[in-house]
Amino acid sequence: MEPSTNQTVQLAPPKKKSLSQWGIARKKFVRNIPAMASLIFLFVVTALSMSASLLSDIDPSRINPRLVEVPPSAEHWLGADSAGRDIVTMLLYGGRTSLLIGFSCMTIIITIATIIGTISGYYGNIVDSILMRFTDFMMNFPFLIFVIVLQAIFVDSGVLALILVISLLSWTGAARVIRSKVMSEKENEYVLSAISIGTRPSKVMIKHILPNVMSTIIVQATLLLAAMIVAETGLSYLGFGVPVGTPSWGNMLQAARDPGTFENLWWIWLPPGLLITLTILSINFIGEGFKDAFNPKSKK
């Protein structure tokens, strides 16, 4: 990395590059087998869903009376559902919707939570009181009922509205966690030292505090990602999530509400259920991996 213009000749062993704390965390994470396996799994699932239209030439929403409830075969690997739609194709397209909702909700939530949590925790006093009372206020909305009512009013609102509604109702917990972490972090002397050398408050927050609470933010983000996918599937299962025409893992699970299907036609509800479980599980493993990697005391 550095030019070897050192005048003082040192016969030191080949220079090891200095590792930042990020570097150390990355190294620890890569050695964590369950976390890495989960990361690869999640990556594969995401990649397959993204390229759904390339992998399958069947229209996922086309209803085909000839294929109603056919069991798995060489042509249709996982059979078809009660409307004759190919399950594999639906899984691919459904993953696209479910993961899109999960990732976008997580991004929006983490952004809101980080901004509010950091400002609130850093400035304290009145700013903190105002922002935290606002957070409490947002916390008062009962999530499920609120979403159901909104979705019932705006029936044809589509995926985007669902993302916004879920995000706006779910950032409060993460904001509080980040705020408390910022509050403890700003007591460190390096923050005072940054102020004493004339660093602007905005820069103190972005360059000094945020990197040091980033581990918390990343762990929160993974937990949120899992929670948001669950929220989507849960709402869709109840019929208040993604519009019925759009395939999503939650919508596919709806079929299991019918006892007949549940008992006899396993290929309709088992694959999406399994995929959801595995995805959530792998996200949680990744979160645990991050937690370990950022913990200076773990020796993995």
Partner 1 sequence: MMQTDEVKKKDLTQKDTLLEVQNLKKYYPIHTGFFKRKTGDVKAVDDISLTLRKGETFGLVGESGCGKSTAGRTILRLTDATDGNIFFEGENITKVSGSKLRKARQDYQMVFQDPYASLNPKMMVGHLVDEPIRNYRNKSHKDLKPEVQHLLKRVGLREKDYYKYPHEFSGGQRQRIGIARALALNPKLIVADEPVSALDVSIQSQVLNLLKELQEEFDLTYLFIAHDLSVVKHMSDQIGVMYLGKMVEVGDNESIYREPLHPYTQALISAIPEPNPLIKKERIILKGDVPNPQNPPRGCVFHTRCPMAMEKCKEFVPQLKEVRPNHQVACLLYENQ
Rounded Cα distance between 254 and 64, Å, is 19
Site string for partner 1, 164-183 (x = CB under 8 A): --------------------
Give the one residue of 14, 198, 245, 260 binding partner 1; rule: CB under 8 A: 198
Give the one residue of 137, 190, 295, 300 binding partner 1; rule: CB under 8 A: 190
Q: Rule CB under 8 A: say whether 128 interacts with partner 1.
A: no
Smallest distance, partner 1 to C-beta of residue 16, A:
10
Site string for partner 1, 211-230 (x = CB under 8 A): xx------------------
Smallest distance, partner 1 to C-beta of residue 193, A:
5
Smallest distance, partner 1 to C-beta of residue 257, A:
50
**CB 292 within 8 Å of CB 228:** no
Smallest distance, partner 1 to C-beta of residue 199, A:
5
Binding site for partner 1 (CB under 8 A): 1-2, 6, 17-22, 188-190, 192-200, 203, 207-208, 211-212
